[in-house]
Structure 1
Amino acid sequence: MGNSSRKEAEEEGGEEEEEGDGAAVEEGEATEKKKEEEEEEDELPLGVEELLASGDPVLDLSYRKLRRLPSRVCSLEYLEKLYVCGNRLRRLPSGVARLQVLRTLALDFNKLDDVPPAACQLANLTRLYLGSNRLMSLPSELRNLQNLRCLWVESNYFQRFPRLLYELPHLRSLQFGDNRLRSLPSDLWRMEALRGLWLYGNRFREFPRALLRMESLEILDLDRNQISSFPNLAHLPGLRLFSYDHNPVKGPPKVGEEVELVGEGAQEAMETRARRKEARRRAAEKEAEEEAAAASAAGGSGEEPVIHGILKHSSSAPSHRPNGVAEGVLEAEAQEEGKREQGDEDRIVVEYDEAELEYDEGGLEYEQEDLVYEGKGYEYEAAELEYDGDEVNYEYSDEGEEPEEPERHRKGT
């Protein structure tokens, strides 16, 4: 027994030593990371120095083979948009949190294992791009981004849908394509602001029933899954584009008359729908022509047609009116006749108050950059939505649109 006890004590002591060594290694790594973040770069890639000194609120350091973000970036507190896509970043320096004016941060096509904590402190951020990294989850600190409207996390390793996204009240565009989702939470309807949802390239075998309650969705993409049947989607009033291509189905589901379809049999279905609409239009025109002909025939027989509503004041108005004319109309005509008898030659003008019927276009603006979809060989253009082609080049513009990326990416701002 003594030998056994001594052996157990030795084993426990060995385990404690291993734990101590592990802690020391982790502490050393943390110190090294901190030192790496704080040290100045010996040499910046060609052209980066000029960009840092430009004073431009938009800084694009994409595809510069950067292993870490230049520390000088953290001092550019006037930055509104920062693009560092296609580099070799594994983390961001904590000083990025000082960029409180930043609205767009693009970190896609890097080597991030986690969402950088500094990014979660950017309270004014409206667009965050994290696609094509190594993410498996989102940190709870992401809920600090209360102004976030657009989140792209495509081509990562998510197996579960992160419910913390429910706490982002203004999130309109969510790109979750090319991940490993098999299902969606039943209370997904809580994301009431969501307008565009991309779920292509996941592992759905059945249509997620939670989507049937997403009445505000305008774009829904379920390409490249394993769904063999779709339910009736006609009751989704907001839907304008539904893509179901590369699923084991032979035809589209039932959808509303205004919904554009992309997938097996979609073209035929939309052509049939267009023919039906054209037939209804022609039938309505024919009916209107028949009614007009009937009214004309009634006028030719000497019968006075009944006039509904307020009659325009005119000197050529007939002196007699049918019994169906409202008393208010007759009274207005009597007053007009009295004015003519008094020799009043002034013409009566019905004023039109445009102020009451002014159409404020500014109140109906829709930010297209939030809902840009790229799908092969298809283009959808409307006042509020845009659906573009596949595998486009990575480009940015100064204002108005999302960053455009290769492999189902986006148009940039």
Structure 2
Amino acid sequence: MGNSSRKEEDEEEKDGDGEKVKVMEEEKRRRKKKKEEEMEDDELPLGVEEMLASGDPVLDLSYKKFRRLPGVVCGLRHLEKLYVCGNSLRTLPENIVQLKGLRILALDFNKMEDVPLAICQLRNLTRLYLGSNRLISLPPELRNLQSLRCLWMESNYFTCFPRQLYDLPHLRSLQMGDNRLRTLPPDLWRMEALRGLWLYGNRFTEFPRVLLRMVDLEILDLDKNKIEVFPNLSRLPALRLFSYDHNPVEGPPGVGEEVLLVGEGAQEELQERADRKAKKEQDVRDAEEAVLAGDGPVIQGILKTAKQNSASHAGHKYNEVVTVAMPLTEEERRKEEMEAELERALNDYGAGLEYDLEGIEYDKEELICEGEGYEVGDLEYERGDMDYEYEEGEELEEPGRQGGRH
């Protein structure tokens, strides 16, 4: 009996020793693999060493197969723009905080599950690109980026809108397409600086009503959601582009005449708008030709630039009135006779008078739709796939649907 127990104990001890050996071997393999990876990272790809030594404030290390950022990069304190897209980065070294002059940092298409806290100490950042990673939230420390104007977080795993963004007073462009948002917070209107908002490819089933309070939005993209009804958006006076494509709707919502639409039925609407503009311009040309020919009764129409009256005496000026052929009311007829009498008096007597006709408005309509793209001020948007612009602008650049570089 005693011999049997001792034998079992020996076997258990042997099994335990075998397990320890396995753990030690596994740890040894892990360390060896890590060392190999570090050695690989220290071996810079062809041409990178020259880039690092160039002194250029712009450094593009995109698609170089880095698993970690080369340590030498953090010593380049002259850097202003750093692009490390399309690598296998999971984090950044702590000493990246030494790059105090960095204004643009592009980290899209990596393997980050969390935003490296070191980034939140780069207080001069104006543009941060985090698209196509594995993010589900933002750290509270992101509030430190008080200069940030453009933030891209498309193609991640956000299910809730990050409220830390409320504390970024200059954020103008926010790209959260291809995430998992279903709603927006009711106080989103607090982001008063926001001008461009991309929410395509999320999980909205209803139009977020809070957007109707964001009267300074210029670009709004809700493409590829499941929204069946859109409200009238004409109450958004600054809106210049609205994309509602790939939603279960039959036609465009109501918008201002100057808004470029992208979606089902948008082309027909834009064509009708162009036809209306062409007809209006043709009517004006026809009216001008009729006036020059001296045909029919006229009323005052569009006030144009003041010109020198060659028929008047020296020093006499008047505002030229282009007239449109239409039937006159009695009041308009009397007003026209009075103005004609005044003009005759000026020409006859040369009294050196100058006058302006009141109550005449100059109406000008422009269809804001040229070619394949749209541009207003410093906001740009192209309907096809478009790489984002890295060059620093005065305010913000506007993205398409994929990361890239120019």
Q: 1:131 to 1:60 in 2, by over 3 A?
A: same
- Shift of residue 45 of structure 1? 2.4
The answer on 1:314 being equivalent to 2:308 is: no
- Shift of residue 59 of structure 1? 0.8
Partner of 1:180: 180
Answer whether contact 2:378 2:393 (CA < 8 A) is retained.
no
List runs of 5+ in structure 1 lacking aligned partners: 1-27, 299-307, 337-349, 351-376
Deviations 1:223-274 (A, max 9, x none): 1000011110112111111111100001000111111111111101111122
Q: Could you tell me which amino acid in structure 2 is paired with residue 200 of structure 1?
A: Y
Partner of 1:272: 272
- Give the Cα–Cα distance (whole angstroms) in 2 for the partners of residues 221 and 323 of structure 1: 54
Partner of 1:82: 82
Partner of 2:146: 146
Partner of 1:380: 374
Structure 2 counterpart SS, 1:155: coil
Partner of 2:21: none
- Shift of residue 277 of structure 1? 2.4
Answer whether contact 1:154 1:175 (CA < 8 A) is retained.
yes
The answer on 1:408 being equivalent to 2:401 is: yes
Q: Could you tell me which amino acid in structure 2 is paired with residue 408 of structure 1?
A: R
Q: 1:383 to 1:146 in 2, by over 3 A?
A: closer
Q: Could you tell me which amino acid in structure 2 is paired with residue 119 of structure 1?
A: I
Partner of 2:259: 259
Q: 1:90 to 1:323 in 2, by over 3 A?
A: closer
- Give the Cα–Cα distance (whole angstroms) in 1 for the partners of residues 230 and 254 of structure 2: 9
Partner of 1:103: 103
Partner of 2:229: 229
Q: Could you tell me which amino acid in structure 1 is paired with residue 224 of structure 2?
A: R
Deviations 1:26-71 (A, max 9, x none): xx9xxx9xx99xx885422222222221211111111111111111
Where do 1:223-372 residues align within 5 Å?
A: 223-287=223-287, 314-315=313-314
Partner of 1:56: 56
Answer whether contact 1:404 1:412 (CA < 8 A) is retained.
no
- Shift of residue 111 of structure 1? 0.7
Answer whether contact 2:252 2:263 (CA < 8 A) is retained.
yes
Structure 2 counterpart SS, 1:73: helix
- Give the Cα–Cα distance (whole angstroms) in 1 for the partners of residues 144 and 222 of structure 2: 29
Structure 1 counterpart SS, 2:79: coil
The answer on 1:193 being equivalent to 2:193 is: yes
TM-score normalised over the length of structure 2: 0.70
Structure 1 counterpart SS, 2:105: strand
TM-score normalised over the length of structure 1: 0.68
Deviations 1:184-237 (A, max 9, x none): 111111111111110000000011111111111111111100001111011211
For the aligned residues, what is the CA RMSD?
A: 3.8
- Shift of residue 315 of structure 1? 4.9
- Shift of residue 108 of structure 1? 0.5
Partner of 1:124: 124
Identity %: 62
Structure 2 counterpart SS, 1:279: helix
Aligned length: 323
- Shift of residue 409 of structure 1? 2.4
Structure of greater relative contact order (alpha carbons < 8 Å, 6+ residues apart)? 2
- Give the Cα–Cα distance (whole angstroms) in 2 for the partners of residues 289 and 174 of structure 1: 50
Deviations 1:351-406 (A, max 9, x none): xxxxxxxxxxxxxxxxxxxxxxxxxx9422444432225445x687666598999x
Answer whether contact 2:233 2:255 (CA < 8 A) is retained.
yes
